[in-house]
Structure 1
């Protein structure tokens, strides 16, 4: 039985001096993790730790999975707290250990008693040699999508991941997947601003034959849709492709974009058949251009994609072997063909992975590699040093790009690095409670940008504000908090309120007072914004095209969260064709080498559209898996 305090088998007299006596009972402790407090229950029998149970844990699921599983057992088995942190899950590991220490203190037991002897490390071994049809390098969304696709075609697959968990950047993402879905999007009304966006796009002079074909197809579908019902929100793959091409300043490979936009709806359908359930509405994330974002209804964030692929592998008994804590070092080439990977295992052992059919690189970009950011940056004037945070996993350091380059791959668009404007100024994370395109207000209480604009435009505008920060604001009614008080990343809103990362005001004056801005200025800002939202007319200040029903600031209580830009995505990488084959510097396919996801370049141009990264990773991951088996 778990009780909030100690359960002793001591006399009342002994209770006063428990530190000198052996404790028996169950005690609760807690400690701060990366996202929120982790709570544990520790059971003692005469000071012997017989059980460690995790009661509450709001850490990122994929990251905390292994620590939750192994650290409590290691503590019990070794009667020690001198347990090494799990690689890549430092915060989660330390939170569990510190929570156990807290419980011991409440039991009147000195935690130092369990800090004697040698350190205890979690060890896992992998085979030093494997033979398979396909080797996948990287266990994020693209890698798992590729592994499942190849295995469903009958290939024997080995997937390696250098971290102790699967997920890459996918599990840290908000989870939006862009795909045109006319039936779903038709639930929304099309604003005058949105209509103008399409009409302006149709007026563009095509830059190439493929754009001309897409524009002609779009015009035909647009004319038919407007004639049928001019008020419902329109969409089609051609609009998705053309908006993506334009948002990347026309430098991307339109053939890659076209295939992505055409196949993305099939990706949505494929995931649905695997068990991922979609919300019955589409949304628009930061920099998404159009409300075609799909979100999972039965998961928070990008975790759902990782779990769905894992469950599919288990349920269908697919021939996929996953080797964690195994870092790829070099591609093996023989007679001009990539035939495998040299890697380093969890304990430093050298590992050889042979691939009969091909190797698929899905190792991500280089957003967490400061040296590479500074080397390649062409957009931010050398401002991407250590002083600016990143939303990326610390594993996203570009080795896959460099390995492919060494094997002869051509690189493209390496200088284009994206900042996400709405991140936590302290740690660069995307955690928060307000919808992405909610109102942005600077520290003077004024709007300063079209919140539905491109991410590079939003980031530049944000960096130009006093202190390079601003507030993203929403109301209790339109905040992204579920019935259990959790955010889209599964973090309790109370955690943000207690830490001061989110500020709540009962009314405009209260909120203004707490964030130290003039209440009259803030109220005027809200009033003007609300007038635009009510009318759905023209945003005369900044040209915002529309205002979704869940955006207006009509009544409190209100929330404000301080935001600033952080490095989010690297648009450049290895060059591929529409079959996900890696191309050499002359534009020819390198036999046996494929790639998908952020390790590739050429799809997003100078600026990635919000919601396109997951669509890209999962769609081209599937393409790569199927292509490798052919």
Structure 2
């Protein structure tokens, strides 16, 4: 996608100065961070700014990992900013209860406790240190939470990342690109470094502590099980489970490896590949968009949790839903998906196909015409639109419970109309290396593997079997900062 490509070029430029590497290099450091995604970069900054010599190993030609595709939703539970925006009380217990409910009792309780107790402090630290700006200054409603907690970073993660990256460089951390960590160095039962490859050369980093911030394994089909294996993937190709593999090799345990975060709002932009349209959907709910199945009937509250919508979606004919929009809603939808990298060229191509091929972007001068191109029952769809408008006039969705704040106007009764497919997509995996309450990786005897720590998606069992909105950024930020604090404390 063009937006992300521009960000990638910028990041490569930021990191290319002085990056001539020597062959078969040996480096001595205090801390070796494997992976330059959100968790790794936060940890590296905190450690380097406290005087530690930090080396970051990144296997790709550019930094960022999954951050380059992250939508930028940040749940700022308990922070000063959340309070300033009208939620004065959102205690750790409420976050724990929400995440356990959404994670279906499969959450790792050790890391969940760390997240709940520390995310407010870390959010305050991020905001005061890096001064992020947000798209919409109002906290957004999410069905997964009892309190409003979510804000979207302006430019999403990929737009905010260069600011953090610049701070990391100024703090003195060394970033090695195209350098793939392959093996942990163990001496007398302690991890003392990393062996990596850069082309045909070997890079050896000796360190007092090693942090696994390697992300997930969504791009590694061999590590996936159904339904993840057949779901549309939209994550980074760098998510191949390297950290999980290296940890297991030195005796670590894994948990929740069968789970991943699936969303109900993707389009099949290429065979087997998804593009998120969540920002378009969000704008559609604030207008007059609604979801139907192939029979042309509403079957779900459009503002329910992602998990609930996905559960309903998978039971529908063809295993998908359709977003129905009048022209004003469509215009807002387009604004949203363009922020996620969809281009005018993409839209022109998809609209020209008019439902004849994936992704379905059907349209017509009348509702019946649009329905015909999408393969939806037109008579039922016409009745559904009329019923939706009736509920808007009544001020209450008696059929599915969509919040009144997202039923502000009736759908127009004259065309044109647009209908867009809704398919399951995923990028984030829940499978984790098991850690203790200092983020030290544990062996099969549940004892810490000395010198080895983990942060971010590689320990994503904190969420259970399904992550909540904005909590991936919250967890990567919190665990990244905490890992730095724990490693530095253990060096004293």
Select which of 254, 274, 278 maps to 1:428: 274
Aligned to 1:371: 222
Select which of 236, 242, 250 maps to 2:105: 250
After TM superposition, the structure 1 = structure 2 runs for residues 481-496 of structure 1, keeping only pairs within 5 Å, are 487-492=338-343, 495-496=346-347
CA RMSD of superposed structures (Å)? 3.4
Select which of 46, 51, 65 maps to 1:154: 51
How far off is 1:584 after superposition?
2.0
After TM superposition, the structure 1 = structure 2 runs for residues 39-58 of structure 1, keeping only pairs within 5 Å, are 57-58=2-3
Instruction: Give the alignment's TM-score, normalised by structure 1.
Output: 0.66
Aligned to 1:354: 206
The gaps in structure 2 that reach 5 residues or longer are 352-358
Distance 1:319 1:464, change over 3 A: same
Alignment length (residue pairs): 465
Distance 1:248 1:383, change over 3 A: closer
Distance 1:499 1:63, change over 3 A: farther
Farther off after superposition, 472-481 or 491-500: 472-481
After TM superposition, the structure 1 = structure 2 runs for residues 351-500 of structure 1, keeping only pairs within 5 Å, are 351-356=203-208, 358-374=209-225, 382-385=226-229, 387-425=230-268, 426=270, 427-431=273-277, 434-436=280-282, 438=285, 439-474=290-325, 487-492=338-343, 495-500=346-351
Distance 1:578 1:543, change over 3 A: farther
Aligned to 2:355: none
Indicate whether 1:239 and 2:85 are aligned. no
After TM superposition, the structure 1 = structure 2 runs for residues 239-278 of structure 1, keeping only pairs within 5 Å, are 239-273=94-128, 274-278=130-134
In 2, the alpha carbon distance for the partners of 1:552 and 1:353 equals 60
In 1, the alpha carbon distance for the partners of 2:276 and 2:337 equals 15
Select which of 108, 125, 133 maps to 2:21: 125
Distance 1:592 1:415, change over 3 A: same
In 2, the alpha carbon distance for the partners of 1:362 and 1:404 equals 12
Q: Which one has the largest radius of gyration?
A: 1
- The 3-state SS of whatever aligns with 1:424 is strand
After TM superposition, the structure 1 = structure 2 runs for residues 211-360 of structure 1, keeping only pairs within 5 Å, are 235-273=90-128, 274-278=130-134, 279-284=136-141, 291-297=148-154, 299=155, 301-314=156-169, 317-345=170-198, 347-356=199-208, 358-360=209-211
Instruction: Give the alignment's TM-score, normalised by structure 2.
Output: 0.83
Aligned to 1:208: none
- The 3-state SS of whatever aligns with 2:47 is helix
Distance 1:496 1:372, change over 3 A: same
- The 3-state SS of whatever aligns with 2:480 is helix
Distance 1:448 1:484, change over 3 A: closer
After TM superposition, the structure 1 = structure 2 runs for residues 52-67 of structure 1, keeping only pairs within 5 Å, are 57-65=2-10
In 2, the alpha carbon distance for the partners of 1:463 and 1:492 equals 29
Farther off after superposition, 550-559 or 492-501: 550-559
The answer as to whether partners of 2:38 and 2:64 remain within 8 angstroms in 1 is: yes
In 2, the alpha carbon distance for the partners of 1:256 and 1:536 equals 42
In 2, the alpha carbon distance for the partners of 1:302 and 1:512 equals 36
Aligned to 1:17: none
- The 3-state SS of whatever aligns with 2:65 is coil
Q: Pick 1 or 2: higher relative contact order, CA cutoff 8 A, min separation 6.
A: 2
In 1, the alpha carbon distance for the partners of 2:67 and 2:394 equals 37
The answer as to whether partners of 1:289 and 1:610 remain within 8 angstroms in 2 is: no
| 1:75-114 Cα deviation digits (max 9, x unpaired) | xxxxxxxxxxxxxxxxxxxxxxxxxxxxxxxxxxxxxxxx
